Amino acid sequence: MSTVGRTKRVTTAAIEAMKGVRPIVSLTAYTTPIARLLDPHCDLLLVGDSLGMVLYGMETTVGVTMEMMIAHGQAVMRGAKHACVIVDLPFGSYQESKEQAFRNAARILKETGCDGVKLEGGEEMAETVSFLTSRGIPVFGHVGLMPQQVNTTGGYRSLGRSNKEAGKIRRDAKAISEAGAFAMVIEGTIEPLAREITAAVAIPTIGIGASAACDGQILVSDDMLGLFNDFKPRFVKHFAQLAPVVSKAAEAYAEEVKARTFPAVEHTFQPKK
């Protein structure tokens, strides 16, 4: 197959090599139009299972399915030409066994064409990460606050304040790094601990609610864009305020439809003279 004119995509190996070179820019993406807008500015786009909450109004990510992840992974791949694209393995698709994880990870790679998969977990998932990476599947790890485990961890909260929690997160990060993941998310973890882990592990750490000292950062794109007026966790910064813009546009549209000023003549098709 000819490669003439094809844009070179950032690889998982290139992401891993960025540790200590410069911060890695990451955002979530769930649709083709948003992927096209974010792609030129990002090293990595994550098709996160957060789509369950962001797009489908779910209370947690637990209800997200393989079919949902594949459909949105395909959509993002249509819009991303530059960034490394990673797709989340949803809850229940990899925890049963390393063989189950391989089947579902391979399916995601085959059906979306993405660059790798992400899974949550530390010491308990290290064997699975090693199994996947040794069989050609790049793995993006995820430690600290793990949204898929929210039902057993007491909700969404920052972690690492107690010696017990901090020790567990340290061990998790070390295990995932040594198992062969190319990078890992550190989520909802107190700043000094995230900083310490970043210095200790050999692979890049991507922070969300962690530390500026992490090797990169990620946010949910809808949070970054200010599309939710009623939701702003401490770790989120709105780089735009699009919610009122969208609301105002809808209001103006509704007014013109009711007044029959839209569509105007220039928005309609007229007989040729």
Please list the active-site residues: 187
**Is residue 50 annotated as involved in ligand binding?**
yes
Q: What are phi and psi of 121, to 5 degrees?
A: 130, 160
Q: Are 45 and 20 a contacting pair, CB within 8 Å?
A: no
- In the numeric block, the tokens 């199994």 are attached to 131
CB-facing half-sphere around the CA of 133: CA atoms within 13 A: 22
Torsion of CA 104, 110, 113, 117, to 10 degrees: 20
**Is residue 49 annotated as involved in ligand binding?**
yes
Q: Name, in order, each residue with C-beta under 8 angstroms of 200's C-beta and a sequence gap of 6 or more.
A: 170, 173, 174
Q: Are 188 and 210 a contacting pair, CB within 8 Å?
A: yes
Residue 134, Cβ density class (10 Å: 0-12 exposed, 13-18 middle, ≥19 buried): exposed
CB-facing half-sphere around the CA of 227: CA atoms within 13 A: 10
**Is residue 120 annotated as involved in ligand binding?**
yes
**Is residue 8 annotated as involved in ligand binding?**
no
CA angle 148, 151, 154 (to 5 degrees): 115
76: three-class secondary structure by DSSP = helix
**Is residue 230 annotated as involved in ligand binding?**
no
List binding-site positions for 3-methyl-2-oxobutanoate: 49-50, 88, 118
List binding-site positions for Mg(2+): 49, 88, 120
List binding-site positions: 49-50, 88, 118, 120
